[in-house]
Structure formats: C-alpha cells, structure tokens
Structure 1
C-alpha cells in the first residue's frame, strides 16, 4: 500500500485545506519521510501520521514552529507557507455573514464613493467573492458578472470571462490560491465548505484547487481586460483593501481597477 493510500489523502480530492494536508504537502516537496521529520522536530512519527490524517487536534505553536524550522532546513519556506500553516493550526475567523447582511452594512457614503471612482472600475466584495455593490464602469467592463453575482462563479462558469480576461489561466489560478488562503483561516465555516463544494463542479476550478497552492491577495497588481465588442485590450492597476465597517470588520473588500 502506498503512503497516499495509507493516509487516505489524494491530491485530486476537493476538500477545504487542513493543517494535515498542508504539512503533508510541505513534507513531500522536501522529500522528508515522516520518521525523519519527526526525529528532527522532536516528536513521534505516529504523531506526524495522526496530524496528517486529521486524527489529532491542532498542534501547539511550539510544535508548529519546530516543524516549520525543520522543513525550512531542507528547503526554504515562503512567508505564505509559514503564515498559512500557522493559520491552519488554530487562527479562526467568525462564521462568514450572508452577502445580504454585508450589503446592508455598506454605508451611504461608501455607496456614493463607487460613483466617485468613475471611470475606474470599483466594487465591494465579501470573502467568498460575492459582489455586494459595484459601479457602472465595473459592470460594463466585466459583462455577465453582475448577473452571476460572484467572481468565482463568473470566472469558472461564464464563457465571457475567458473572453474578457486576457490572462485568464493565470488570473483564475491566482483566484483559487487566494480562496484557499481565505478558507484556511476558517476551515470549519459551513459558508466556505458549501461554497468550495459548489465550485468543485467546474473542471478548471477542480484542476487549480488540486494543485494545493496558496497565496495572499496582493494590495496592488496588474490586470489586462479585453473589450468584448471592440477587442481592444486595456491594462489596469488593481488595488484591494479592507473597508472599515464597525459591524463586520475585515469582511468587506474594496476592489479598485485604475486604467493605466
């Protein structure tokens, strides 16, 4: 029986990220056996097995730091991998509010700001990528997104996305990496588990999710969009940042796309 069969973990499975899955991926990437990692980290091999199978509770910070230190000796870990493993080990976010609740929490001033951003593309999103509100430029540049109501469902379920997104493959992969990072902060949140299960029906989403990569949403990045009518391509500077909200702190994000 292979190690994959023994652990019951398969790379192609669609499941929310767990500490055990992330640890297994980092260990495999470095060619560590469970015994080697356990020895260098000062724990037992059976404990590593139990962690990877999800049969033990979250490890303490000292154990996580020891595991990360040992993994880093073999091959340097990225800041993303370090933070992700720490979050999976116990940092939790409260359950995600419904989009309707977040939309109602957007203040009149924040709504008026969307019009003031014109001709830049501007929208408010929730952690699952639901569009809470958007200006006219956003709706015009991203046809079909307002009707779909969610950037992930649009990206993977609407053929217009592949027309509009000039670099669709890399953009879609990044979206999945960002979602994995977000879900990792609250892997037991039913809003996220249901959402991921729903997206798993899209083959491209399944493909990217199975790669297991994670990343943080950068505060500034570049994106290219194609006008579906003229075929003209325009480059945007995309800025993302949290919107201040006393009721739902850190639950609403402003996405602003400035034409370059």
Structure 2
C-alpha cells in the first residue's frame, strides 16, 4: 500500500499532473504519457536528468532545500503541497516514523470539557480520522453517520454519505488527499495501512483517487450537507492541530452569521453534552 519511496512517488505524480503549457513549453502534440518528461523537469529545476531520475526511483533520498524549492517552482505547488514535499524529504533524514501506541488515541479530559462548553459543533479526530469525541451539537449534526466513527470510511462505504454530502465528489477527493498526506508521513502506521487497504478493496472511487497521489491538506473548506432534520446546510469545516498530541485535530462546523444555515444549525444544538467515543480498532489484536 505504501512503499519506502514516498518522496519519489510524490514528485512522479506531480510530474504527471503538470502539463507542458503550465511551464511554458511548446505544444508538440500528443504524448505517450501525461505530464512532463523527466528530462524536462530536470532542465527546468537545474539538475541533471540522472539525478532527477534517482530522486523518483528512491536512490537519492536527501535532496537539498535548493532542489526541493526548484521542484516546487516547476510543479507550481501551493503552500500545503510544498510543506508536504519538505516533510517527506526530512522524514528520509529522520528515518522511520515510530508506530503509534493505542494510548495516543485517548482524548484529554480538558479538551472534552472545552468542546462540551461550545454550542458550535466540534469533534476531536484521531490520527486515522476517527471521531474520538464529539459535543452534543456535533453528535446531532453528524447523526447520518450512525454507528460509523471513521470519517473516510463513512464517506466511501456508507450509502448514506452521498445523500448527506451534497458535494460528495469533492468531499471524497479531500479525504483521500488527507489520508495520502497522513500515510506518506507515517508509512509504518499499521492502522492507516489497514484503513487504506479496506477502502481500496471496497471502493473503486477510492482506488481511482488514491492513484492520483493528490496532496491538498486544507485546514478549512465549505461543506454542503443535507441533514434529515435541519435540511440543507452550508457550513465552514475548520481543523486545528492539537499541540502535545501528534496527529490529533480539533474540527469545527460553523454557519455564516446571518445565513439561512445559522438558525438551522442552532436548532440542532443539543444539551446532552459531549459524547466520548472509543478509538476505532483497525489494528489487529
């Protein structure tokens, strides 16, 4: 599922996704494969073709910042993708990422108290995008998930997901990008490997998107949801990293003040308080 050549896989995918026109090269007609040729990328980045080939093949694992920045320029990477490229290169210097322990999926009590005090829907996501805790408003908002606790698994494997997410295709693409980023930085995480394997085996849409190797780590995005009680909602989904707990994120759903979604979202808010959920057990016993 995930090789030891994450850096090479990433730049190879970006090369395939970059057209000659994007970098100012003349149109020479149809090509056997999409994107740029290796020699074109090498020339544009100011490195030898042999050196660039070794980067893609994983035989050169420690490119300098100068080389990485040149590739960022050639491929036109945005800030999130550029940061991801540098992280992949640094991971090669650090060595393998340690396996996570089951205890790292526990949510601190002070965080549960924090989101419990909010009327804004809020959840704590684990490293594999499991909902580890949710406040009452979020439990009501995400009720179409039923007993499912994993966000990507709900999107790709639950029949209810396509009716709940009005922009399902974009939502699916975003979750694949998030998963791809997580796996690239933690290739030894068995739980992530199991999740990707499960989604690949059961969803052709996931498999197609996974092979595109898209990295778009968005901290916020617009979500259009069709809730069975509140109707259509247009919300801003925002995530925040939680310092001191690697891989954990705080995610919130907010309605634009004065919008039609604001009173509908407020009516969903529940006084029941936080619902703490155990981590998804994808790791073999």
Range into which the TM-score falls when normalised by the shorter chain: 0.7 to 0.9
Separation of aligned partners in 2, 1:30 and 1:188: 33
2:100 aligned with 1:97: yes
Separation of aligned partners in 1, 2:243 and 2:2: 31
Task: Give TM-score scaled by structure 2 length.
Answer: 0.71
2:253 aligned with 1:251: no
Separation of aligned partners in 2, 1:206 and 1:165: 20
Shift of 1:146: 5.7
Superposed CA RMSD in Å reads 2.8
Shift of 1:54: 2.5
1:133-161 deviations in whole A, cap 9, x for unaligned?
A: 11233223223536222101111111111
Q: How many residues align?
A: 235
Shift of 1:113: 2.3
Separation of aligned partners in 2, 1:135 and 1:51: 46
User: What SS does structure 2 have at the residue aligned with 1:26?
Assistant: helix
Is the deviation greater in 23-32 or in 124-133? 23-32
Shift of 1:182: 2.6
Say if 1:121 and 1:137, in contact at 8 Å, map to a contact too. yes
Separation of aligned partners in 1, 2:171 and 2:159: 15
Which structure 2 residues correspond to residues 4-15 of structure 1 after superposition, within 5 A?
A: 15=2
Equivalent residue, structure 2, for 1:227: 227
User: What SS does structure 2 have at the residue aligned with 1:173?
Assistant: helix
Equivalent residue, structure 1, for 2:52: 48
2:8 aligned with 1:20: yes
Shift of 1:231: 7.1
Say if 1:123 and 1:138, in contact at 8 Å, map to a contact too. yes
Shift of 1:41: 4.0
Equivalent residue, structure 2, for 1:33: 37
Separation of aligned partners in 2, 1:180 and 1:233: 30
1:85-121 deviations in whole A, cap 9, x for unaligned?
A: 22222246844634x52343x2322212232223x32
Q: Sort the Cα spacing of 1:56 and 1:79 in 2 relative to 1 into closer, same or farther, 3 A.
A: same
Equivalent residue, structure 2, for 1:5: none
Task: Give TM-score scaled by structure 1 length.
Answer: 0.77
Shift of 1:42: 4.7
User: What SS does structure 2 have at the residue aligned with 1:225?
Assistant: strand
Shift of 1:20: 1.3
Equivalent residue, structure 2, for 1:65: 69
